[in-house]
Structure 1
Amino acid sequence: MCLGGQCEHNVNPLTNASEGRQESAGGLDRRRLLAAAATGAAALTLAPVSFARAQAATAPPKGATGPGEVTRTVTGHLETGAADFVYLPVEVPKGVQKIAVEYSYDRPSVPAGTPGNSCDIGVFDQHGTKLGGKGFRGWSGGFRTSFEISASEATPGYLPGPVQAGTWNIVLGPYQVAPQGMNYQVKITLTFGAAGAAFVPTYPPRRAKGRGRTWYRGDGHLHTVHSDGKRLPSEVAAGARAAGLDYMISTDHNTSSSHAVWGEYAGDDLLIITGEEITTRNGHWLAWGLPAGEWIDWRYRSRDGDFHRFAQQVHRAGGLVVPAHPYCPYVACQWKFGYDDADAVEVWNGPWTYDDESAVDTWDARLGEAVRTGGRWLPAVGDSDAHSEPQVIGLPHNVVYADDLTTGAITSGLRAGRTWIAESASVGLAFTAGGNGRQAGIGETLTTPAAAPVDVRLEVQGVPNGTVRLITDEGQMHQESLPASGTGTVVWRTTSSLAAYVRAEVRHPMADGNPGHGNTMGPVLQWGPMAALTNPVFLKRA
């Protein structure tokens, strides 16, 4: 092994993850150990890569391949069935100013319908890889092929800060492996020298200039270049303003790096709330209202039993836990953790699809169960999940009744279910139930004598020729069309003995040439994609 000599160190292990053995290749007679890593999900740890110690903090080490640089390259092979995470320890000496990593992997042809190779990457520093520990320094998933970290700056998705001596770990996440296996290469370059000026974060304020107690619009699922989005933070903030939003929530995948730049783009007219989308192998979830800079781990499956621990971490910080797109058909997206620790559920994600229909149906069934058992109900939310053009920021978004435009007030309104979902800011809605001299709004409870009449009232703007559906625990109880102007009022009468809750949907008409599919109510559905969806008003018998 070259430690400060004239050569670049090239290790070429052939790793058989399923059997747990390694064979040296390329004429290198060297065993590389394979062990379990200290994480919740299945993991493998390779033998460490060592670097020469610099002769002085500001001097290039002997045998450097560039000005103050030393490079090591590791290649290997992972068989199908490899662990969720593969850790490559890197022994970082003192005097390192910057660490840079490049990686690649092969993409062999696979039969139709068979997943090909896909591999994520990230890094943990000398504090270690312990689940939920302090070593996290960045994650870019499969969106980038390289990253750099120094005291002054870092690639988006990674946390700037000193490159301190100790064992760092480069993390590979082979979430899909072809039948032929995956050949990978990791190139690590350390640059020696003075650390440079420390990075200064600009976190967003937790308050904007609100309008007091009223309705506020916001998108709770947005991505930037700090994960797999193509928009800069400045472009996302501009898009939120253009969509007529009062607040937005930053939810880059598995990293908190974007938190440190949002302060520059917040303002009196836009509250920016810090959060994260946690992408596990058994579903994705949103952490809303995290303290700026706080990171939530994602390295576990449902069977590991670790989700509750991290949901509690969010709750202790005053944030919300929101399962995202629970019926998403992509690899590792479908929700498998249950809803005991959830505060809300994302039933509408981006443009309306059959996935969203399934999510709403499941949510509605859970509403009926909560009423029957007297248990806790989960509010429904909807967000754009916008990553890049042409995905539309604010399609859809949540309209929340809150005391003010602050992080605490917005998350409180969402937690209470005082919210409805709008396709865009052009859609307006008011929904109440009144009876026996009382009135309740979305997320509230109206208590009346069992036989007392209850008038449910829905006012809508911005959905031309739309269809209003009023739905109770018995199913759809009233349907009515809106005029071509898109503005109308629907009133329907019931009692608390007949309905335990009432919620409203406003649907667009079916597109021309697409009459929809029939059901037991008739040969053709009378509604199309969702334009607005409310949380329920609950009706309780006195």
Structure 2
Amino acid sequence: MCLDGHCEHEVDVLHVDRTDDASSAPGRRRFLTAAAAGAAALTLESVSFAPSAGAAVQGTPPQSGEVTRTISGHLDTGVADFVHLPVEVPKGVQKIAVSYSYDKPAVPSGTPGNSCDVGIFDERGIALGGRGFRGWSGGARTSFEISNSEATPGYLPGPVEHGTWHVVLGPYQVAPQGLNYQVQITLTYGADGPAAPRTYPPQRAKGRGRAWYRGDCHLHTVHSDGKRQPVEVATGARAAGLDFMVSTDHNTSSAHAVWGEYADSDLLIITGEEVTTRNGHWLALGLPPGDWIDWRYRNRDDAFPRFARKVRRGGGLVVPAHMYCAYIASQWKFGFDDADATEVWTGPWTYDDEHAISTWDQKIGEAVRSGGRWIPAMGNSDAHSEPQVIGLPHNVVLAEDLSTDAVMDGIRAGHSWIAESSAVRLTFTASGNARQAGIGETLKVPAEAPVDIRLDVKGVPDGTVRFITDEGQMHQESVNAAGEGTVVWRTTASLAAYVRAEVRHPMANGSPGQGNTMGDALMFGPMAALTNPIFLTPDRH
């Protein structure tokens, strides 16, 4: 029924274990299951709206006013990764607005409750990696609007063209009782307003030529689930002493078009995305402004390599994020064959990071044994809101210039180290046989020639320096209360295939060191700085 222009349309959704065919009970609403969008999907019956009266007559202005439809239904546990609600948008629509809600029944302790994301694709379709993407807010908001002149953060402004749009629900947790949902769609008729401005950030800032540049490559704003406005993130990056930052809102490129307003000669702002699949999250760093990377797949769908290639074709990097995060769908399951680097330290130091570094170190050893490619380490804040600290930690990258391409090249090559703040400074070198190599480089020397590993550090009072090789920790030494010191250790290429350095804080309140089943505990605390390795290769000639 319709009252005062508000129309309500109830959709009765069949359970996923039912089959819909000609013999189905009359009056039941039809759905389709498919894997066309990568992960399993459920498509509901379409919702239709009457065309604008003016849209049928060429040259006649579209009718003004609003019409609303409300759709409700039920989803069972395991029904689908994504639920598509087709919306038939007629000509003459100026704005589309969507709101949604779902119930949250009580569940037993330890059982996931209902959580459901939302987004939308336009008339160009829902194909995996296709052109129809118009926005995603996950579970960060319950409503959004799109018009030619503006859009809710997380969504892309532009004309609301006629055709079949799709509201997409992402029920990534469903309670044993199932999930009851309601979606309300409002179309506003009228002429399009002026196009929204797009101010993409420049690809270069004023640098110092070949130098070490500091940057946080994992940051969120209100364009996904962050609480900070873009201006607050840029201000925070400057306050942290950073030279560059990467915008990585979840599953959307909408923030790209606003960063130009906040970039300047002192701060390079690089566009990217955090791609949140059902089998782990990854960072797409250095995307061409406006590019969007799809996330609607699992490891078994074999789609990840396709999107990794897309990122690299655009000059960007593929970086698994917080690989041991305990939250649902956050642990990394795709392996590292398609990774350009990996995030081993995310936000304040935790045992998740300790585990990630152990895995990364193992991968270095595998690369040395096979003669294959090694994967550089990164550290980022993943800051969303206060009190999370932008730049804790961040990367210090040797780049030819302060430009997107140069920074990506430096990270890709492993010419970088990780610092908890701009107060921490270090240099790390290996010298032998009248040659020297730095972070991410290879020193080629006679197998038995002495090699001096040297670390100079500032900014970690009473810190502990650790030198780690393919045999494990080979040297440990503390610096003074002022946090300054030089540590030198001698080895050979026959004994160490690589050497990397860690600088740790002292243990807090006399707490024990890292557990060691083989003997005494290793006496070091949380990380303050971490380098990528220097490789030592025997010169056979």
TM-score with structure 1 length normalisation? 0.96
Q: How does 1:354-373 map to 2 (within 5 A)?
A: 354-373=351-370
Deviation at 1:60, TM superposition (A): 7.5
Describe how 1:14-25 pairs up with structure 2 within 5 A.
Answer: 14-20=13-19
Q: Indicate if the aligned counterparts of 1:60 and 1:68 stay in contact, CA closer than 8 A.
A: no
Equivalence for 1:36: 34
The answer to whether the 8 A contact 1:18-1:79 is kept is: no
Provide the rounded CA distance (Å) in 1 between the counterparts of 2:528 and 2:106.
Answer: 42
Residue 298 of structure 2 corresponds to which residue in structure 1? 301
Could you tell me which runs of 5 or more consecutive residues in structure 2 were left unpaired when the two chains were aligned: none
Aligned to 2:426: 429
Q: Give the letter aligned to residue 123 of structure 2.
A: Q
- In structure 2, the CA distance between the partners of 1:241 and 1:18, relative to structure 1 (3 Å rule), is farther
Please say if residues 59 and 68 of structure 1, whose CA atoms lie closer than 8 Å, have aligned partners that are also in contact: no
Matched residue, 1:10? 9
**Out of 17, 40, 44, which is 1:46 matched to?**
44
1:137 corresponds in structure 2 to: 134
Give the corresponding residue for 1:401: 398
Report the Cα distance in structure 2 between the residues aligned to 1:60 and 1:410, rounded to whole angstroms: 49
SS at match of 1:16: coil
Residue 354 of structure 2 is aligned to residue 352 of structure 1: no
The percent identity for this pair of structures is 73
Per-residue deviation at 1:377?
A: 0.1
Distance 1:530 1:119 in 2: 36
Q: Aligned equivalents of 1:136 and 1:231: distance in 2? A: 24
1:520 CA displacement? 4.5
Question: In structure 1, the residue corresponding to 2:116 is in which secondary structure?
Answer: strand
The residue number in structure 2 matching 1:258 is 255
Give secondary structure in 1 for the equivalent of 2:34.
Answer: coil
Superposition deviation, residue 12 in structure 1: 3.6
Normalising by structure 2, what TM-score?
Answer: 0.96
Give the one of 322, 337, 345 matched to 1:325.
322
Secondary structure (helix, strand or coil) at the match of 1:512 reads helix
* 1:53/1:272 CA distance change after superposition, 3 Å: same
Partner of 1:493: 490
Q: How many residues align?
A: 531
Task: Give the SS at the match of 2:9.
Answer: strand
Equivalent residue, structure 2, for 1:391:
388
Residues 245-303 of structure 1: per-residue CA shift (max 9 Å, x gap): 00000000000000000000000000000000000000000001000000000000000
Aligned to 1:64: none
Structure 1 counterpart SS, 2:509: coil
C-alpha displacement of 1:56: 1.3
The equivalent residue for 2:417 is: 420
Q: Give me the whole-angstrom Cα distance separating, in 1, the residues matched to 2:507 and 2:442.
A: 33
- Written as runs of structure 1 = structure 2, the 5 A alignment for 1:63-102 is 68-102=65-99
State the 4+ residue runs in structure 1 displaced beyond 6 angstroms: none
Q: CA deviation at 1:200?
A: 1.8
Deviations 1:344-379 (A, max 9, x none): 000000001010011000100111111111010000
Corresponding position of 2:449: 452
Tell me, in whole angstroms, the C-alpha distance in 1 between the residues paired with 2:321 and 2:226: 17
Alpha-carbon contact 1:37-1:87 (below 8 Å) kept: no
Aligned-pair Cα RMSD in Å: 1.6
Cα displacement (A) at 1:46: 0.4
Q: By how many angstroms is 1:535 displaced?
A: 0.2
More off after superposition, 408-417 vs 50-59: 50-59
Q: What corresponds to 1:379 in structure 2?
A: 376
Query: Is 1:278 paired with 2:275?
Result: yes
- Unaligned 5+ segments in structure 1 are 23-27, 62-66
For 2:259, the aligned partner's letter is W
C-alpha contact (below 8 Å) 2:287/2:311 kept by paired residues: yes
Query: Structure 2: which amino acid aligns with 1:533?
Result: L
- Against the structure 1 CA distance between its residues 6 and 234, is the aligned structure 2 distance closer, same or farther, given a 3 Å change threshold? closer
Structure 2: distance between partners of 1:107 and 1:228:
20
Please name the residue that 1:150 is paired with. 147
Task: State yes or no: 1:183 paired with 2:185.
Answer: no
Q: Tell me the residue number matched to 1:466.
A: 463
Deviation at 1:19, TM superposition (A): 2.8
- Supply the distance in 2 between the matched residues of 1:287 and 1:355 (Cα, whole angstroms): 21
Per the TM alignment, residue 513 of structure 1 is displaced from its structure 2 partner at its CA by 4.7
* Aligned residue number for residue 238 of structure 2: 241
SS at match of 1:10: coil
Deviates more, 1:524-533 or 1:424-433: 524-533
| 1:21-44, Cα deviation, whole Å (9 max, x unpaired) | 59xxxxx94633334262110001
1:518 has 2:511 as partner: no
Once the two structures are superposed, residues 419-450 of structure 1 have per-residue CA deviations (whole angstroms, 9 ceiling, x without a partner) of 00000000001000000000000000000001
Q: 2:73·2:182 contact (CA, 8 Å) conserved in 1?
A: yes
Deviation at 1:490, TM superposition (A): 0.1
1:112 aligned residue: 109
Q: Name the aligned partner's letter for residue 422 of structure 1.
A: A
| Pairwise CA distance, 1:5 | 9.4
Superposition deviation, residue 482 in structure 1: 1.0
Matched residue SS, 2:494: coil
Distance 1:500 1:71, change over 3 A: same
Whether the 8 Å CA contact 2:13–2:31 is kept in 1: the answer is no
| Cα distance in 1 for residues equivalent to 2:13 and 2:300 | 30
* Contact 2:77 2:175 survives alignment (8 Å): yes
Amino acid paired to 1:360: I
